[in-house]
Amino acid sequence: CFWGLRISDMLALHWKQILNVDEFAIIEKKTGKQRTIRINQQLKRHIADCYKQIQPIGINAPILISQKGTVYRVQSIDVLLKKMQTKYKLSVKNFSCHSLRKTFGRQVYNMNSDNSELALVKLMELFNHSSVSITKRYLGLRQEELLNTYDCLTF
């Protein structure tokens, strides 16, 4: 939720890339494009705390490993998320790994509601979308805008 990465890119991350750094770069698996990500101070402290708690086998270890010591599969993470959805009674349709990426997008959009067009342009770049209209559709904004039309009607 903090970086808006696809799960395939998250699963490829290792502690050495994110621990005690201000930013890191990846090559996105899907697009083949490079992306630089900044880690804010709050998240930086949280990452350090997680590293201490988890005590991975070393700084070269992947960040998302199971109790068996293997890197999670996307399907396994989806199962874990569905369990969390049930446990915490989350009203999210089709809750999956991709929901985390979309949550990032919606948070960025909502935090910049005073300049929503700029937020959409930033998200378009971060998500490597080819147009703002794709980003709007991706975030479900187009449908939301259409439905809001009904709210404007009065008698």
**CB-CB neighbours of 104 under 10 Å:** 18
pLDDT in tens, 53-95: 999 988 999 999 988 889 999 999 999 999 999 999 998 888 9
Q: Tell me the DSSP string of 101-155.
A: HHHHHHHHHHHTGGGHHHHHHHHHHHHT-S-HHHHHHHTTHHHHHHHHHHHT---
Q: What is the pLDDT along the chain (155 residues), one digit of tens a residue?
A: 899 999 999 999 999 999 999 999 999 999 999 999 999 999 999 999 999 999 998 899 999 998 888 999 999 999 999 999 999 999 888 899 999 999 999 999 999 988 989 999 999 999 999 999 999 989 988 777 777 778 877 77
Residue identified by tokens 């998320």 is 81
Q: Where are the domains of the chain?
A: 1-64, 96-155
Which helix (H) or strand (E) segment is 42 a member of? helix 41-54
What confidence score (pLDDT) does residue 69 get?
85
Using an 8 Å Cβ cutoff, are 102 and 84 in contact?
no
